[in-house]
């Protein structure tokens, strides 16, 4: 069964998102809170390793802006990303239209429909929902404590789930469950979770969504075997270094972020294409995911004239990631094998730097130096 997550979201325009939160945070503050919630929900969606993340976005006219906003979160995803403009009509009509479109595109798919208000949606719940659908149930609901639902799982079209339902009320979940059962659909109910709608609910989760710590990784010579003075130009030449998969999983197990910041000027020199680079990173992410975790974001300076990033030691890649992922640089670290990596970490105001000793000359000292990537997790345990 192909595993699909269908995420409903809006452009984070102040005054159009989280309007109930705006009464306490203001329009700008509510929009910022919404962006933080979307970041966490997409992080959890990626961690479940679906085959497809389909984004049902609103308004349709803002597709370009929405793609740019979500690029830091979805560029690192190793599966397929599909973009679906939301249709007109009430919430039920919009969910029905988008989910049916997904079901018609992907045969034998288990489609999990989610919004972005439930930041406690984790991989375990997503895996449970897919398992239940694969086991023979027709519908899976994840109810919220306010009477709605944070998750709907289906594998076929079921019009009864979307018509004559009192949307956005305390009766939404019960009415949907009753509709499913009255039409003979075998239904399963997951554990209840809280949607973040009120200022009290927001204050209960805010600390876990903002100011998160991160370790930034250089790629060649750290994540993978160094190509020397050349470039890794294809998947066959890419080999993960010992201990890297364990280090990334160590971070994710403790709710740290792990982000790749790399210079790949072979693209700008015409030695490889962006598609070649994307294929390498797709392979890297898939290999890391086999060990339980992958990078949350990938930032690459390619040397092309239209590259949106700046070369090291400029801290732009770290600064951009910190803004998108709401990172506390004062608690974050940089791991590299070159002076420019260490200098970039310092210029970004990070808490510490780690050098992996290789064949490069050293003129900028790091806070810690390791002879091998195999020792990274042990060092994390001492200092992070």
140-150 confidence digits (pLDDT tens): 999 999 999 99
8 Å CB contact between 196 and 38: no
Percentage with pLDDT > 90 across the chain: 96
In this prediction, residue 140 carries a pLDDT of: 98
pLDDT tens-digit map of 67-121: 999 999 999 998 999 999 999 999 999 999 999 999 999 988 999 999 999 999 9
In the residue annotation, 117 being an active-site residue is answered as: no
In this prediction, residue 241 carries a pLDDT of: 97
C-alpha 116 chain-centroid distance = 12
The single residue of 220, 296, 339, 341 carrying the catalytic annotation is 220
Q: Is the pTM of this model over 0.75?
A: yes
Asked whether residue 355 carries a pLDDT value surpassing 90, the answer given is yes
C-alpha 50 chain-centroid distance = 12
In this prediction, residue 196 carries a pLDDT of: 95
Residue 221, CA distances (Å) to 189, 274, 297 in order: 48, 21, 19
pLDDT tens-digit map of 140-198: 999 999 999 999 999 999 999 999 999 999 999 999 999 999 999 999 999 999 999 99
In the residue annotation, 75 being an active-site residue is answered as: no
8 Å CB contact between 71 and 124: no
Residues contacting 179, CB < 8 A, separation 6+: 160, 161, 164, 165
The single residue of 58, 138, 195, 218 carrying the catalytic annotation is 218
8 Å CB contact between 325 and 296: yes
Residue 152, CA distances (Å) to 107, 115, 238, 316, 352 in order: 18, 10, 39, 39, 43
Residue 179's Cβ-count burial label (10 Å; 0-12, 13-18, 19+) is buried
């Amino acid at each position: 069964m192909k595993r699909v997550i269908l995420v409903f979201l809006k452009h984070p325009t102040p005054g159009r998102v989280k309007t109930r939160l705006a009464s306490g945070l203001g329009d700008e503050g509510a929009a910022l809170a919404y962006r933080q919630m979307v970041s966490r929900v997409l992080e959890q969606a990626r961690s479940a390793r679906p085959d497809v993340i389909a984004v049902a976005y609103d308004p349709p006219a803002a597709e370009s802006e929405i793609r740019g906003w979500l690029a830091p979160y979805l560029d690192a995803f190793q599966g397929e990303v599909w973009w679906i403009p939301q249709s007109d009509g009430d919430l039920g009509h919009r969910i029905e239209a988008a989910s049916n479109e997904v079901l018609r595109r992907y045969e034998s798919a288990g489609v999990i429909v989610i919004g972005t208000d439930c930041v406690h949606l984790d991989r375990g719940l997503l895996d449970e929902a897919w398992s239940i659908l694969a086991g023979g149930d027709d519908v899976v609901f994840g109810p919220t404590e306010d009477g709605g639902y944070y998750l709907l799982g289906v594998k076929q079209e079921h019009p009864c789930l979307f018509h004559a339902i009192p949307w956005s009320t305390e009766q939404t979940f019960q009415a949907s469950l009753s509709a499913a059962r009255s039409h003979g659909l075998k239904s399963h109910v997951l554990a209840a979770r809280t949607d973040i709608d009120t200022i009290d609910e927001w204050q209960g989760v805010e600390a876990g969504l903002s100011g998160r710590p991160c370790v930034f990784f250089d790629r060649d010579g750290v994540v993978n075997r160094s190509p020397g003075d050349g470039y890794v130009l294809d998947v066959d030449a890419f080999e993960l270094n010992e201990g890297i998969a364990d280090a990334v999983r160590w971070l994710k197990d403790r709710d740290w972020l792990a982000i790749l910041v790399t210079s790949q000027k072979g693209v700008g020199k015409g030695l490889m294409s962006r598609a070649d680079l994307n294929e390498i990173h797709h392979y890297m992410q898939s290999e890391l995911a086999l060990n339980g975790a992958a990078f949350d974001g990938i930032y690459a300076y390619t040397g092309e004239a239209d590259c949106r990033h700046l070369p090291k030691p400029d801290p732009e890649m770290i600064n951009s990631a910190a803004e998108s992922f709401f990172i506390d640089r004062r608690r974050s670290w940089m791991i590299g094998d070159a002076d420019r990596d260490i200098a970039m970490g310092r210029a970004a105001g990070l808490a510490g730097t780690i050098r992996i000793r290789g064949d490069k000359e050293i003129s900028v000292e790091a806070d810690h130096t390791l002879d091998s990537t195999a020792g990274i997790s042990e060092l994390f345990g001492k200092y992070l």
